């Protein structure tokens, strides 16, 4: 006789979240997205409309854009995966506020930082150690808080459903590539068309 095991729905939902990345949206952002027309994600739109911070090889011809939420553990692992590739590629990290009240202020703090790469490493190290990330109480520029909100509107208008979300032009093929969810360093290198370290 064949036995079928039924998994609790909460386990299946947790597994789906783990596999897909983080995707909770605040009601206002979801309503704004529903009201606006959806556009397909493109490198050109993201380059023109998003506000992020750049790390890596500034001479790289094809920037790699990564939408992330500062409170997303998948985004923290994606940051770690990207570090070995920063000598070969230019990454633009675009903060959005999807998950909780800390997301927006922390994203604005990262954008306001004099050294966002260093601040991001500090933040993600803290997040992955379950310590909550960087403090976002001082030094935040008001225009950066607005930029995080604008990034979320762009994110929603592009129909993106979770973070991290990567969009780039593959350095070898020239084709636009997108992928949701975290990746290993090797998978990220393959997606963006650079040799793994």
With a cut of 90, say whether residue 181 has pLDDT above it: yes
Domain annotation covers residue 131 = yes
Domain annotation covers residue 27 = yes
Domain annotation covers residue 184 = yes
Domain annotation covers residue 4 = no
pLDDT on residue 119: 95
Domain annotation covers residue 117 = yes
- The string of pLDDT tens digits covering residues 97-141 is 999 999 999 999 999 999 999 999 999 999 999 999 998 776 688
Domain annotation covers residue 13 = no
Can you give the residue range of the structural domain that contains 136? 21-192
Residue 23: band (very low, low, confident or very high) from pLDDT cuts 50, 70, 90:
low
Average pLDDT, the chain: 85
* Structural domains of the chain, count: 1
**In whole angstroms, how large is the CA radius of gyration of the chain?**
17
Three-state SS letters, the chain? CCCCCCCCHHHHHHHHHHHHCECCCCHHHHHHHHHCCCCCCCHHHHHHHCCCEEEECCCCCCCEEEEECCCCHHHHHHHHHHHHHCCCCEEEEEECCCCCCCHHHHHHHHHHCCCHHHHHHHHHHHHHCCCCCCCCCCCCCHHHHHHHHHHHHHHHHCCCCCECEEEEECCCCCCEEEEECCCCHHHHHHHHCCCCC
Sheet with 64-68, edge to edge strand ranges: 53-56, 90-95, 64-68, 165-169, 176-180
Domain annotation covers residue 70 = yes
Domain annotation covers residue 168 = yes
Token readout for 135 is 């403090």
pLDDT on residue 26: 46
pLDDT on residue 188: 98
pLDDT on residue 65: 98
pLDDT on residue 24: 53
Domain with residue 77: its CATH number is 3.40.30.10
Q: How far is residue 176's CA from residue 179's CA, in Å, rounded to a whole number?
A: 10
């Amino acid at each position: 006789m064949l036995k079928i095991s039924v998994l609790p729905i909460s386990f299946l939902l947790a597994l789906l979240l783990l596999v897909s990345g983080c995707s909770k949206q605040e009601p206002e952002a979801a309503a704004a997205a529903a009201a606006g027309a959806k556009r397909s994600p493109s490198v050109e739109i993201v380059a023109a409309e998003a506000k992020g911070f750049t790390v890596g090889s500034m001479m790289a011809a094809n920037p790699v854009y990564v939408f992330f939420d500062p409170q997303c553990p998948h985004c923290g692992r994606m940051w770690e995966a990207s570090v070995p590739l920063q000598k070969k590629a230019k990454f633009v990290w675009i903060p959005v506020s999807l998950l909780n009240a800390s997301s927006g202020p922390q994203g604005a703090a990262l954008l306001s930082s004099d050294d966002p790469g260093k601040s991001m490493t500090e933040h993600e190290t803290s997040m992955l150690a379950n310590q909550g990330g960087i403090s976002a109480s001082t030094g935040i520029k008001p225009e950066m808080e607005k930029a995080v909100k604008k990034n979320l509107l762009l994110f929603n208008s592009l129909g993106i459903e979770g973070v991290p979300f990567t969009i780039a032009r593959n350095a070898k093929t020239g084709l636009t590539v997108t992928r949701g969810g975290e990746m290993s360093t090797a998978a990220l290198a393959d997606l963006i068309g650079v040799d793994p370290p």
